[in-house]
Amino acid sequence: MNLLEEKFLEHLKLNLNFSNYTLIAYKHDIDVFYDFVNEKDLDFENFSRTNIRDFIKYRLDKKDSIRTVKRRISALNKFYEYLVKNNYIQTNNFVGIRLKSRENTLPNILFESQINRLLDENNKRTDFYKERDQAILELMFSSGIRCSETINLKLTDVNFSLNVALINGKRNKQRYVPFSPNAKQALISYIENTRKVLMNKSPNYEDKKYLFLNKNGSKLSARGLEYIFKTITLKTGISFDFSFHPHSLRHTFATHLLNNGADIKTIQELLGHSSLNTTQIYTHVSLEKLKEDYNKYFPK
């Protein structure tokens, strides 16, 4: 990591209160960009629009999704904006860069029958980590919390009397989210059994504060949570026609609420979206489901 990148990340952390999870994402996107600049021997300070188009094509050829490239461009725009503002460089050519979507950007969701089968089959497991994994599934599905919010959840953030959890979201914005009675039961079973064993494996007292722990008794990482989701599909023998990952449950949570009559503003608050525009994607998902049912059941 070079000095300019270090200063930028420090700015995001100290002045904008970005979470560690977000900082890691920004660092990764900038590092990917620097790799491209160095490989192609380009001028970092005068990175032109043509260079940007080449970078986009390069990342797409590397099998980045459109969404991933959009995120990288957004991160680099913010990076260059900071550099210009602080007189490190003269021009930010990332301003106004737009990518045309070449893929379906609607989120993948699980239908009610699918999520019920997944929860039932996972609960039949007999291995040691079953209770932890079941608690994760039940909590994430019934609350819609993000991957980063799940791994950063502390035991003291969970109120079992009210069935709510205090969530520290993006940019340290806090909100309360409810969770289901099934999630409560799964969490209690995990805490009283699996978690007690895992806690004894780590000498680090700070790790013991977090709700979900890995096999070493340490705080669960984002990569670790993604791995758990992969093992769940393997251990249950259930597969989907898309890649099942932690965000799948968040999408499913929001879409099910909307389909059952929840107000879009309520969903926005539960998800912790700062803008209603972000939440509107789930109205499109519901429309897609409506069209699918229409085409399926309307007599030809």
Other CB atoms within a 10 A radius of the CB of residue 281 amount to 15
The 8-class DSSP code of residue 70 comes to: H
The yes-or-no answer on residue 170 being catalytic is yes
Which among 184, 235, 245, 247 is annotated as catalytic?
Answer: 247
The yes-or-no answer on residue 223 being catalytic is no
- Tell me how far CA of residue 14 lies from CA of 8, 10, 55, 202, in angstroms: 10, 6, 30, 30
Helix 222-236 / helix 112-123 crossing angle, nearest 10 deg: 90
The 8-class DSSP code of residue 154 comes to: B
The yes-or-no answer on residue 59 being catalytic is no
Q: What residues contact residue 243 under an 8 Å CB cut-off, 6+ apart? A: 108
Which among 195, 208, 250, 256 is annotated as catalytic?
Answer: 250
Tell me the two tokens of residue 36.
Answer: 């491209």
Which among 125, 170, 175, 289 is annotated as catalytic?
Answer: 170
Spatial distance between the Cα atoms of 101 and 123, rounded to a whole number of angstroms: 39
The yes-or-no answer on residue 201 being catalytic is no
Pairing of strands 174-178, 158-159: unpaired
The yes-or-no answer on residue 245 being catalytic is no
The yes-or-no answer on residue 117 being catalytic is no
Which among 70, 184, 273, 289 is annotated as catalytic?
Answer: 273
Spatial distance between the Cα atoms of 140 and 134, rounded to a whole number of angstroms: 10
Residue 178: strand, helix, or coil: strand
Spatial distance between the Cα atoms of 252 and 29, rounded to a whole number of angstroms: 28
Which among 72, 78, 132, 146 is annotated as catalytic?
Answer: 146
- Which positions are annotated as active-site residues? 146, 170, 247, 250, 273, 282
